[in-house]
Amino acid sequence: MTTNTAYGAVKRPEKSSSPWAIARRKFLRNKLAMISTVFLGIVILLSLLAPVLAPYLSPIPDITKVNIGKMSIPPNDEYLLGTDKSGRDVMTRLLYGGRISLLVGASATAIVVILGTIVGSVAGFFGGAVDSLLMRFTDFVLNFPFLVFVIVLNTILYGIVDGLWVLILVIGLLSWGGVARIVRSKVLSERENEYVLAAISIGTPPAKIIIKHLLPNVLSTIIVQATLLFASLIVAETGLSYLGFGVPEETPSWGNMLAFANEPDVLQGKPWMWMPPALAVTFTILSINFIGEGLKDALNPKSQR
Amino acid sequence: MTTKELTEQGNTQKERENLLEVKNLKTYYPIHGGFFKRVVGNVKAVDDISFTIKKGETMGLVGESGCGKSTTGRTILRLIKPTGGQIIFDGEDITRISGTKLRKARQDFQMVFQDPYASLNPMQMVGDIISEPIKNFERRDKKELVEYVKSLLVRVGLPEAAYYKYAHEFSGGQRQRIGIARALALNPKLIIADEPVSALDVSVQSQVLNLLKDLQEEFGLTYLFIAHDLSVVKHMSDTIGVMYLGNLVEVASNKDLYSEPLHPYTQALISAIPEPDPKLRKERIVLQGDVPSPANPPTGCPFHTRCPMAQEICSQEKPPLKEVRPGHHVACVLY
């Protein structure tokens, strides 16, 4: 007992600790990851509450209307972050922009993770011809010229699907190759464990082996990948919107706001137009990356104790 | 009735007392090479072996690491695809069945794995690990299933509370008990134990071995017991098969094999068992050289490269496994 306290007394929890519980405890102890989680939580909350908050923060809550009388006002008491070239309030657009950017990031990540996991785990578990076929297809998708595809799909789907969802679908359908490869390689090494052989020998059907045995054991990798992807897909949205192939122009997104500030005059003299979205993107991505790193540490069995 | 029919009838009667019959089983792993990944050779992990196990008995399989013991066990359970031969289990040929039929057949033969750490899914609760085989084949009332699994846990010497724990909270010996409980869950007829104690402490080994023996009596199990430890096999088995380089070189009853080993390889193995009595110092046969590669096995008798009694014929002809005394089979030109 005394030796226990000498080592800082790692209290044994009452209930049996599953591997997930151990990971959760480790994650909660990681300060940087926890600060990032809180920050990301606030960003998400502010974005969700944009329609509620906007009227309080700005006298012109309309995000799309051009307002000639109020162009390019620097930040002051009335306009907390100033207005842009079209006389729209930057604060309001920043809040609404967060909704779009996070929605695009999250939805595209979901598509990528689901597709990548299905393709990767099936290829890895069955191996042989199935593996070759699926992985060649993955290579094919990975080699699509991203920008060209985005432009073409945008043109084809314009008017049929809402502009925002075109972007989400295009990003999602073109980016799953990397996840598929990572999941496949993890499944390949994981299925060498005897518990997979044991599952076969007790008559567990293949689909159940993948879902109940392999996926829980590669889930840590998938989660980490998903967080990092989330960050990079927000950047993708921002970049595409900047180039004009992303979110329709009148819809505010962080990328669109940045795209608006492409004149030297704005860049040099009117930082309030582009600083807020730039900082928002930077800090959101940073926090997501820190969370991803934290999860990686927490879920890595080798870093236990 | 023709003589042919008579012998066929005789065969089916013989199969009834035999739970498992392995005939000329071969498992080759192809070696791919060259630009187009052509098959350039085979690793002959199991090369033409035959044996039978009677209901309720234990057959031990010994040999050095890499001699194909585990591959034999896994091939019999159809976890590895056999290259040739026949596996007849309880009168039914299971060599070529596949898909759902194979999955259904698996209820009757189970395996206890060598590595108690890798053979349990770290993300699963022990209760789920043991109830999974049952859930795969039948729908049972949840409460009843939990009770059943808990009774299994108690039967293998673990507390009921183990149901709610995870594998990482147990020691090697306890994990192996969990693995045994999983194998028992479906009330199988045959259990293949693939070096079930080689990863355990000596003190724990005997406990697990005795548990296996008790369970055999209680459930009427038949074992194929794979090990490299001769004293462990002696403790467990009724008959023993000695493997060398994918071949079965000698099969005999427990008593015969230890008192009168016939094959030079078996003699060398048995001479290596440490003798606790210092006065009874016996001649130790030390084999020269290494086991040849199973990808490029020697011609003739696989053992002739290391055999102290090798003759010229040994490198030319592979001696078949023949019964030289009642119940004592050996593959050697000397007999």
Q: Over B125-172, what HEC string results? A: EHHHHHHHHHHHHCCCCHHHHHHHHHHHHHHCCCCHHHHHCEHHHCCH
Residue of chain A whose alpha carbon sits nearest to that of B130: A202
Q: Hey, what domains does chain A have and what are their CATH numbers?
A: 20-54+88-303 (1.10.3720.10)
Q: Which residues of B touch A302 (CB under 8 A)?
A: none
DSSP state, residue B264: H
- Closest Cα in chain B, distance from residue A11 (Å): 15
Q: Read off the pLDDT of each residue in A28-45 and give the average, rounded to a whole number.
A: 91
pLDDT on residue A2: 40
What are B110's strand-pairing partners?
A: B191
Q: Give the residue with greater pLDDT, A198 vs A165.
A: A198
CB within 8 Å: A199 and B166: no
Contact B123 A216 (CB under 8 A): yes
| pLDDT at residue A15, as a whole number | 56
Query: Which of B79, B114, B182 shows the shortest C-beta gap to A200?
Result: B79
Helix or strand holding residue B11 (H, E) = helix B3-17
Nearest to B103 among A19, A205, A217 (CB): A205
In angstroms, what separates the C-alpha of B320 from chain A's closest C-alpha?
32
A167 versus B158: the higher-pLDDT residue is: B158
**Coil, strand, or helix at residue B225?**
strand
- E strand or H helix that includes residue B31: strand B18-33
List chain B domain ranges: 3-237, 258-335
Q: What is the dihedral of CA A223, A225, A226, A228, to 10 degrees?
A: 130
CB of B69 closer than 8 Å to CB of B62:
yes
pLDDT in the model for residue A223:
86
Question: Which of B159, B169, B73 is CA-nearest to residue B114?
Answer: B73
- Chain A residues in contact with B138 by the CB 8 A cut-off are none
Distance CA B175, CA B204 (A): 11
CA distance B7 to chain A (A): 35
What's phi and psi for A9, nearest 5 deg? 45, 75
**A181 HSE (CA, 13 A, CB side):** 10
Q: For residues B51-64, give the mean pLDDT.
A: 92
Q: What is the pLDDT of residues B2-37, one digit of tens each?
A: 444 444 544 544 444 789 999 999 999 988 877 777
Tens digit of each residue's pLDDT (9 = 90 or more) over B60-80: 999 988 888 999 999 999 999
Shortest distance between the Cα of A216 and any Cα of chain B, in A, equals: 7
With b for 16 or more beta-carbon neighbours within 10 A and e for fewer, the A56-76 pattern comes to: ebbebbebeeeeeebebbebe
Helix A215-243 with A163-190: angle, nearest 10 deg: 150
The interface predicted TM-score (ipTM) is 0.84
Where is B205: in which H helix or E strand? helix B202-219
CB distance from A217 to chain B under 8 Å?
yes
Element spanning B328, H or E? strand B328-330
Interface test with B, best of A131, A190, A194 (most B CBs within 10 A): A194
Alpha carbons A144 and A84: distance in angstroms, whole number: 37
Question: Can you read off the two tokens belonging to residue A248?
Answer: 């329709």
Closest CA to A121 of A187, A175, A219: A187
Give the CATH superfamily of B3-237.
P-loop containing nucleotide triphosphate hydrolases (3.40.50.300)
Q: Per CB distance under 8 Å, which residues of B are interface residues toward A?
A: 74, 77, 79, 103-104, 106-107, 110-111, 113-115, 118-125, 132-133, 136-137, 164-166, 168-169, 179, 182, 185-186
Query: What one-letter code names the amino acid at A258?
Result: L
Q: Are B22 and B51 in contact (CB under 8 A)?
A: yes
Q: Evaluate whether B272 touches B258 at the Cβ level (below 8 Å).
A: no
Q: Give the helix, strand, coil percentages of chain A, each rounded to 5.
A: 75, 0, 25
The verdict on a CB contact (< 8 Å) between B79 and A199 is no
Q: Are B199 and B228 in contact (CB under 8 A)?
A: no
| Coil, strand or helix at A176 | helix
- Residue A101, classified by CB atoms within 10 Å of its CB into exposed (0-12), middle (13-18) or buried (19+), is buried
Report whether pLDDT(B243) > 90. yes
User: pLDDT tens, B307-329?
Assistant: 888 888 888 888 999 899 988 99
Which of A198, A205, A301 is closest, CB to CB, to B113?
A198
| Candidate from A24-38, A288-302, B134-148, B319-333 with smallest mean pLDDT | A288-302
Distance CA A65, CA A86 (A): 8
What average pLDDT does range B193-206 have in this prediction?
Answer: 90
SS3 (DSSP) at A287: helix
| Closest CA relative to residue A190, chosen from A225, A216, A227, A222 | A216
Query: Which of B98, B124, B158, B165 to mutate against chain A (most A CBs within 10 Å)?
Result: B124
Q: pLDDT tens digit string along A266-293? A: 777 777 878 888 898 889 989 988 988 8
